[in-house]
Amino acid sequence: MSPSPELSAAQRNAVTELLRVSPVADELGRRFAKAGYELHLVGGSVRDALLGRLGDDLDFCTDARPEDTLKIIKGWAEATWETGREFGTIGLQRGGLRLEITTYRAESYDGVSRNPLVQYGDNLHDDLVRRDFTINAMAVSLPGHEFADPFGGLQDLAARVIRTPGTPAQSFGDDPLRMLRAARFAAQLRFDLDPAVRTAMEHMAADLDRITAERIRDEVSKLLLGADPVTGLRLLVDTGLADRFLPELAGLKLEIDEHAQHKDVYEHTLKVVSNAAGYDTADGGPDLVLRLAALLHDIGKPATKAVGADGGVSFHHHEMVGARMAKTRLKALKYPKDVIGPVVALVGLHLRFYGYGRGEWTDSAVRRYVTDAGDQLARLHKLTRSDCTTRNKRKAALLAADYDALEQRITRIQAEEDLARVRPDLDGNAIMELLGVPAGPVVGRAWKHLKELRLERGPLDRDEAEAELQRWARAEGLLP
């Protein structure tokens, strides 16, 4: 099939984008050519060039072996690394770009793990056919800029479809992680899956059990950070892939009958994820912690669902149950502590705001809200606002106004007090001196009591704090 005029234009755009970095890429290509080897820009780098989004990380393939690559770049590369050498990959840095050069591969897989049995190839075609999707199986030669697309990746890119170079069954059988990558690319690029790819994912979902938790975690994170995470999440659930590593997500599809109506928790969750994806971090990037919290905020509902005598449905304490479940799931997926801790805290706090509009919150309650949220307060604001998915415009407006009022109140109290560093009005040394006790459990209990007073009443002056400490100590039998 000959390319359409639009595809030809896209091809020209790819070369134009490549020329942006040609001082490095072409120079590298000339070094390989002089040494008698081929070099091609390949895979995701070509795909991104075609999409006009080529970044600073470039992938190349060559018929040179790793030891030959090292000789060619010696003295030219500003830095090199060999962490991927066992798979034929040599990394280097030059001119602000990170380059990875991989020897042509024609490996097979052992059918048990996702680890390839590395076999070097001797031609570009065999290297491209082993790649995951056609949109990642294109190449541009260097320095000649000849375009290679043996599997129609350019056509698929124009059609915005994800397809495999060979049969999906063979591709996913070689490496089941590619099924998650298909969902991830759908989320990142807003592409559709070829029907054969989707069918294979449904039939082969159990093969994902061969993949390590760390690999799954990385793909899930990339999916969540994509431009359209909801599309990717729907694919994971609809194909059964999510059941292999995140069964709680599909479990949100609670049965709804005519006698016990309640919001569709699954659809609500996806909407909350979509809302959360609308927020950016301070540096303009997507926030993994916020999106994970949005995804997991209601996973405690199925376990806490109860139907009352009047047919009303409740999910009492689902936020606390959900926080425990979120911690267990994230640990199983090998997320680091600096992700698990904030996500669990956000899930546990996401309901705290409700009730504020009824006028029940004192300044003490606001202080506790801020103190309990700690350094996650900004994210908690975003998650709480994202959690409002009602279609009732009046109710949505009231909730937004209530939260605006809460944020304004927090700002006012923060201006009067340092809520970010709420401490008792007496420190440990003062407590020991006034009570005449050594360091130990008594000091800890006294410190906690004074902190509770600080949260309840705000800052106390020194005389008030000392009087309250003595009152507490007498009640505890520590003073006459």
Please state, for a pLDDT cut of 70, what percent of the chain lies above it.
86
pLDDT of residue 5: 53
As given in the structure block, the two tokens for residue 445 are 């209990």
Residue 3's pLDDT band (boundaries 50, 70, 90)?
very low
Whether residue 468 has pLDDT greater than 80: no
CA distances from residue 113 to 119, 127, 174, 408 in whole angstroms, order as listed: 17, 21, 9, 54
Residue 418's pLDDT band (boundaries 50, 70, 90)?
low
The answer to which of 27-41, 327-341, 367-381, 422-436 has the lowest mean pLDDT is: 422-436
pLDDT of residue 433: 77
pLDDT of residue 127: 92
Arithmetic mean of pLDDT, 159-170: 95
pLDDT of residue 409: 85
Encode pLDDT of 340-398 as tens digits: 999 999 999 998 887 666 666 777 788 878 888 888 999 999 999 999 888 788 888 88
Partner residues linked to 60 by β-bridges:
41, 101
> Nearest 5°: CA angle at 140, between 139 and 146?
125
The answer to which of 21-35, 285-299, 303-317, 372-386 has the lowest mean pLDDT is: 303-317
Residue 289's pLDDT band (boundaries 50, 70, 90)?
very high
The answer to which of 74-83, 116-125, 267-276 has the lowest mean pLDDT is: 116-125
pLDDT of residue 282: 62
Residue-averaged pLDDT of the chain: 86
When mean pLDDT is compared over 43-47, 324-328, 402-406, 424-428, the highest value belongs to 324-328
pLDDT of residue 258: 41
pLDDT of residue 309: 73
Beta strands in 183-274 (DSSP E): 192-193
Query: What is the secondary structure of 72-97 as a DSSP string?
Result: HHTTT-SEEE-TTGGGTEEEEEETTE
Whether residue 211 has pLDDT greater than 90: yes
324-330: which pairs have CB atoms within 8 A and are 24 or more residues apart? Answer: 324/300, 325/248, 325/296, 325/299, 325/300, 326/296, 326/299, 329/246, 329/248, 329/296, 329/299, 330/292, 330/296
Cβ neighbours, 10 Å, residue 75: 6
As given in the structure block, the two tokens for residue 185 are 């690319």
Domains and their CATH numbers in the chain: 1-159 (3.30.460.10), 167-245 (1.10.110.30), 272-421 (no CATH), 428-475 (no CATH)
pTM: 0.81
Encode pLDDT of 243-271 as tens digits: 999 999 999 986 554 434 446 889 999 99
pLDDT of residue 76: 96
pLDDT of residue 224: 96
Cα 168 from Cα 132, distance rounded (Å): 9
Whether residue 19 has pLDDT greater than 70: no
Asked if 342 and 376 touch (Cβ cutoff 8 Å), the reply is yes
Arithmetic mean of pLDDT, 299-313: 81
pLDDT of residue 191: 94
pLDDT of residue 257: 44
pLDDT of residue 356: 67
Residue 2's pLDDT band (boundaries 50, 70, 90)?
very low
